[in-house]
Amino acid sequence: MLQKFDERNLDLIVNINGELIHRDKAGISPFDSAVQGGDAVWEGLRLYDGRIFKLYEHLDRLERSARALSFAEIPLREKIIEEIKRTVEANKMRDGVHIRLTLTRGVKTPVYAKTGLTLITSKIRRPPPEVLDARIHHANLLNSILAKIEANNADADDALMLDTHGFVAETNATHVFIVRNSDKSRARGDLATSRVVACPEGITRATVIEICAAEKIRCVETDLSVVDIYRANEMFCTGTMGELAAVTKIDNRVIGDGKVGAITKRLSDLYAQRTASQGIQVV
């Protein structure tokens, strides 16, 4: 049932980082991690006659959740309680009040793509479509963020993620291709990429498949295990931001000869030809 708007909330004062502000003027940065990827933890609190029931239990859970996500800064609980008091006072509220407390990782800084990537295989699995269908290109990125934290802690660039059957889904942010049966001298080989089961439909992925068809390079969409990855001649990731980025190491194993492969290079060049000449003119 759709909730009805409560007129008493018309002039709500909200608290953003200690600033009390009318609900119509309140805003957070579009670069905030909560906006970018749902990268936030929260509690729903309830005020009864001036008292918040189980407040410390809620703050404990908030802190535990933030620690699990490796948030760099978790505000002191005295500070949180002080801000809750200020907000409730500013709203002249006392009873029958729902309070929504949200803590985000903060404003995200863009990371620039590189090639010659080092990956680890994450312990975090990608959910199957019956849990959360990756065909919805949604903004709830926590599953991938947990894998990325694992990669950061292992000094790797990104994490390879498997689905719940143990097959390759993609990395935390890009699709994965491998090259098998390669003939370096002719920059030819067979390509394989995972099926769209636990990864979104990729536009760069589709472009690579399109290039392969045009160049008569065999490319299959299939179930790949980490063993397929370990014994590949080449490996690369695809995404709009990083285009085609070679992977040279995974789980401390060198892929192929540990350099950007000839087929990866060839496909990157063919991709660059397309980006240099195609697209919808906007400026």
Residues that bind ligand PLP (CB under 6 A): 170, 173-175, 199-200, 202-205, 238-240
Distance between CA atoms of residues 273 and 236, nearest Å: 18
Count of all residues that appear for the chain in the document: 283
Nearest CB to ligand PLP, comparing residues 242 and 261: 242
Minimum CB distance to ligand PLP, residue 72 (Å): 23
Minimum CB distance to ligand PLP, residue 135 (Å): 11
Nearest CB to ligand PLP, comparing residues 205 and 266: 205
For 54, left (φ over 0), alpha (ψ -120 to 50), or beta?
Answer: left
- Closest-CA residue to 233 (of 201, 200, 185): 185
Minimum CB distance to ligand PLP, residue 134 (Å): 7
Q: To which residue do tokens 């397929």 refer?
A: 228
Nearest CB to ligand PLP, comparing residues 182 and 207: 207
Q: To which residue do tokens 């608290």 refer?
A: 15
Nearest CB to ligand PLP, comparing residues 71 and 271: 271
Minimum CB distance to ligand PLP, residue 206 (Å): 8
Distance between CA atoms of residues 78 and 69, nearest Å: 21
In degrees, rounded to 5, the angle at the alpha carbon of residue 271 between the alpha carbons of residues 270 and 275 is: 120
Minimum CB distance to ligand PLP, residue 197 (Å): 13
Q: Are 243 and 114 in contact (CB under 8 A)?
A: no
Nearest CB to ligand PLP, comparing residues 111 and 203: 203
Work out whether the CA dihedral 150, 153, 154, 155 comes out positive or negative.
Answer: positive
Nearest CB to ligand PLP, comparing residues 202 and 256: 202
Q: Are 203 and 275 in contact (CB under 8 A)?
A: no
Strand-strand pairing, 243-250 and 234-239: antiparallel
- Closest-CA residue to 70 (of 147, 129, 160): 147
Nearest CB to ligand PLP, comparing residues 16 and 272: 272
- Closest-CA residue to 267 (of 205, 195, 199): 205
Minimum CB distance to ligand PLP, residue 177 (Å): 12
Minimum CB distance to ligand PLP, residue 243 (Å): 9
Nearest CB to ligand PLP, comparing residues 144 and 182: 144
Minimum CB distance to ligand PLP, residue 249 (Å): 20
Distance between CA atoms of residues 181 and 94, nearest Å: 71
Distance between CA atoms of residues 179 and 202, nearest Å: 18
